[in-house]
Amino acid sequence: MPCVPIKIGNSIGFACGPGLKRAKPCACGSRRPADLLCDWKVGEGTCDAAICRTCATNVGHDRDLCPDHARAWAVHPKNPNLKSQDRTA
């Protein structure tokens, strides 16, 4: 019987039942269940790669990136954490 993790406040529980689908495995290859989708803008949508909380990089409220797009964000000129000398490189 499939189970999915659910977050309630600061606690994590599991919901199990025959009608539930198993979570996709993380796109990083770790085989951990993915409970997030990458929010990197692609065209008119988002990347939507299935990612686990371990591999995800949170870049804002409800905004998570897959490892590939986290690396792209690390050097992106709109990243507020990027030092000014790194913007011109």
Domain assignments of the chain as residue spans, ordered by start:
23-77
Q: Distance of CA 43 to CAs 14, 46, 48, 74, Å?
A: 35, 7, 12, 20
Parallel, antiparallel, or unpaired for β 57-60 and 41-42? unpaired
- What pTM did the predictor assign? 0.68
Tell me which residue has tokens 């999915």: 4
Amino acid 81: pLDDT: 84
**Does the pLDDT value for residue 89 go beyond 60?**
no
Amino acid 85: pLDDT: 54
| Amino acid making up residue 26 | C
Beta-bridge partners for 15: 4
CA distance 51 to 39: 10
Beta-bridge partners for 71: none
**Does the pLDDT value for residue 56 go beyond 90?**
yes
